Amino acid sequence: MSEPLLRVRQAKKVYTMGDELVWALKGVDLDIYQGEFVAIMGSSGSGKSTMMNLLGCLDIASEGSIAFAGQELSTLSKNELASVRNQRIGFVFQQFNLLPRTSALDNVTLPLLYSNVPEADWISRAKQCLESVGLGSRMDHHPGQLSGGQQQRVAIARALINDPLMILADEPTGALDTHTGLEVMALFQQLNQQGKTIVLVTHEPEIAEFASRKLTFRDGELISDERNQHIRQAADEGVA
Amino acid sequence: MKIVILLKTAITALRVNVLRSCLTMLGIIIGVAAVIIMVAMGAGAQQKVDEQIKSLGGNVFFVTGAFRQSGGARSNSVVKINEDDANLIEKQVPGVEAAAPYLSASGQVIYGNLNWSTEIDGIDNRYFVVRDWGIANGREFTPAEISRGSKVVIIGERVRSELFGASDPIGQTLRVTNFNAIVIGVLNEKGQDARGEDQDDVIFLPIKTVRNKITGVNATNPKSVSFIQVSAYDGEDMDYIEDEMSLLLRQRMRIPVGADDLFRIRNVSEMIATRAETIQVFNTLLAWVASVSLVVGGIGIMNIMLVSVTERTREIGLRMAVGAKPSDILYQFLIESIVLCGLGGFIGVMIAYGFVFIGNQYGIGAGGIIETRVVLLSLGFSGLIGVFFGYYPALKASRLAPIDALRYE
Ligand SMILES: Nc1ncnc2c1ncn2[C@@H]1O[C@H](COP(=O)(O)OP(=O)(O)O)[C@@H](O)[C@H]1O
Ligand SMILES: [Mg+2]
């Protein structure tokens, strides 16, 4: 097999709570390849988010190594990590994390502010991304004027703006109703088919059914890693 | 331009809480306005002083008689200075342009059915030289009029306007206290003197006329005058001239070495300049006090910026997650603080302009002059305050770890 997009070896993460040490990750080995759709599952407190933050360069491992596209993350400076997040990774959060009182269009262009993309291209790019998530007609709306599902789609458009290698989503359907959650999953599946690597954290087994690979964490350890034999297709379940 | 987007971001952030932004700016607004107003008042006072010195006619001394000391106690007899002293000073002290004897009195003048109470002073033509004061209409005194003590009068602009209005005063008969005098000239308008008195409210007659008709002749010193006004040529050493005059008068009055002078010489330009300096020192002090309020305003800015950083921790986390470098966050908050201060400074400048404009309209104080230099300096200074007091909060924001900021509740 070719070189993995993400290569995790004995990754550990420890937090200090007062004078107590909390091992959120206790030595994880993991390879994720370009084009995979990975669901990370596990009960609350099992270390899913911690893993995701390490993969997304939002945090650094206490021990072990993580290589992203061949690049060892522990050797990168803050600025280089920022640049990786900007260029290679798109984030989608449970609470959408859009800037309030800011139009959908401006929210989507936010990552471009920290990139080298010429400003002349910003609007057209953002429009394209919003159209690809089906929000071409809502570009001037502020988050307050959009439904939860629409807000999450704006967030996905924002994640796509720099054409990243990988999209990381932490409980992206957690704040949505089932139907809207399905819409969002359909979008992720569509993006995955277009070649984006997707890593999705969820504690809902039904949501994990849409992924091609399921990882399960418990107490900071990766306890199962299985290929999904029966991938559910969100688009087939009555969602446009 | 990224700076435009950063500015837009800053303004958006400040507009989210308009009231708070305004209150935060208040310190800077008041500080800048106060500094500019104080400096403007200082500049106005300075200009006024310059004008007064100029209206005095350049480098001028007043020479008056002093009290005669007798055994340490002051007696009431004032040594009179006289016309001969003036002549001698003019002739013998190098650098003196003219020394003009001046005999002052006051009283009623009447023309037709109008009467006016004014200064009535005895002079000769040297006075016009000393004061650098020209005749607007008519002529100066002739030597004959001066030596004879003719009843001819040169009137100030104020007296002319009060008594003659639109008609031509030259050749008219003016009743001066108890005698009639012919008006031969009208002086140029001079305006107010250093004490704010109208210098044009005056009439001039030959010294001899005033002495004979109004003040009376002093038995012991028949040529005595109220004072002598001495002007020096431009660029002369005023201290040297003062010393020379003093020496000359001491010799003339036969004052023994070590004894007190029986006269006083005052350098008027210097007196006004000294007074102006006092005003300047006072204004500078006030300007400093005002700049302290600027610093207090800056601390207010820092306080609010710290609150803002805390409130927007999640936003900072998000920006970092989508690729903002620490320096991007630093600039964002720094620019926000600079915009806050700069805007405050701008409003402060506007308020200062308003105040000074209104003050000048109603003639409050000496009037204010706002110099562009001061405005630019204040704006620059408030910008600097923005940088100085905004830096710490911005640095704090930029040092947040992305994940901690993102997770902040
Ligand atoms: N910033 C932190 N400080 C201290 N402990 C933390 C921190 N973040 C996570 N933890 C702990 O690490 C463990 C894993 O957390 P997390 O990765 O958020 O779990 P999950 O996302 O699976 O619910 C939990 O026990 C949690 O309490
Ligand atoms: Mg979690």
pLDDT digits (tens, 9 = 90+) for B228-262: 999 998 878 888 999 999 999 998 888 888 888 88
- Closest by Cβ to B322, choosing from A53, A101, A158: A158
Test A79 with B2 for CB contact under 8 angstroms. Answer: no
CA–CA distance, B317 with B321 (Å, rounded to integer) = 6
Q: Whose CA is nearest to atom 5 of ligand 1?
A: A15
Q: What is the pLDDT of residue B91?
A: 92
Domain of A199: which CATH number? 3.40.50.300
Closest CA to A174 of A143, A213, A199, A203: A203
Count other C-beta atoms under 10 Å from residue B171's C-beta: 9
Query: A24 in a domain, yes or no?
Result: no
Nearest to B120 by CA among B213, B184, B56: B213
CA A5 to chain CA centroid, Å, is 14
- Among B322, B395, B398, B408, the residue to mutate for chain A (most A Cβ within 10 A): B322
* Residue A110 contacts B, CB cutoff 8 Å: yes
Of the spans A152-166, A226-240, B248-262, which averages the highest pLDDT?
A: A152-166
User: Is the Cβ of B403 closer than 8 Å to some Cβ of chain A?
Assistant: yes
Domain that holds residue A118: 34-64+78-236
Between residues B196 and B115, which one has the greater pLDDT? B115
Residue B143 CB contacts under 8 Å (≥ 6 apart), including other chains:
none
Say what the pLDDT of residue B38 is: 86
Check residue B164 and give its pLDDT.
92
Using the beta-carbon criterion (under 8 Å), do B323 and A114 form an inter-chain contact?
yes
* Domain residue spans of chain B: 2-52+273-406, 67-261
What is the ipTM metric for this complex? 0.95
Q: How many CB atoms lie within 10 A of CB B34?
A: 23
Which pLDDT does position B102 carry in this prediction?
Answer: 94
Q: Give pTM, 2 decimals.
A: 0.75
**Can you tell me the mean pLDDT for A187-201?**
96
**pLDDT single digits (tens) A65-79:** 999 999 999 999 999
The 10s digit of each residue's pLDDT in B182-235 is 999 999 998 877 667 889 999 999 999 999 999 888 888 889 899 999 999 887
Residue nearest to atom 6 of ligand 1 (CA): A15
Which residues 277-316 of chain B have a CB within 8 Å of chain A? 314-315
Q: What is the pLDDT of residue B58?
A: 62
**And the tokens for B156?**
């100030």
Contacts of B24 (CB under 8 A, 6+ apart): B300, B301, B304, B340, B344
Name the closest-CA residue to atom 14, ligand 1.
A47
| B11 near A CB under 8 A | no
Distance CA B386, CA B81 (A): 64
Q: pLDDT: is B289 or B193 the higher one?
A: B289
Residue B276, amino acid: A
Tell me the CA distances in angstroms from A7 to A55, A79, B264, B402, one per residue in order: 9, 21, 100, 22
A23 found inside a domain:
no
pLDDT at position A47 over 70: yes
Which residues, by Cβ under 5 Å, contact ligand 2, an ion?
A: A 49
Residue A15 within any structural domain of the chain: no
pLDDT, position B1: 57
Distance from CA of B28 to the nearest CA of A (A): 28
CB B122 within 8 A of CB B212: no
With H, G, I as helix, E, B as strand and everything else as coil, classify residue A5.
Answer: coil
Chain mean pLDDT for chain A:
94
pLDDT at B347 over 90: yes
The total number of structural domains in chain A stands at: 1
Answer whether A82 sits within 8 Å of B319, measured CB to CB: no
More confident residue, B260 or B406: B406
Amino acid present at A168: L
Q: Where are the alpha helices (DSSP H) in B57-122?
A: 83-92
A216 found inside a domain: yes
pLDDT band of B68, cuts 50, 70, 90: low
Mean pLDDT score across all residues of chain B: 88
Minimal-distance CA residue to ligand 1 atom 20: A45
Ligand found nearest the CA of A170: 2
**Cα–Cα nearest to B223, from B83, B362, B358:** B83
Per-residue confidence (pLDDT) for residue B244, from 0 to 100? 92
Specify if A19 maps to a domain.
no
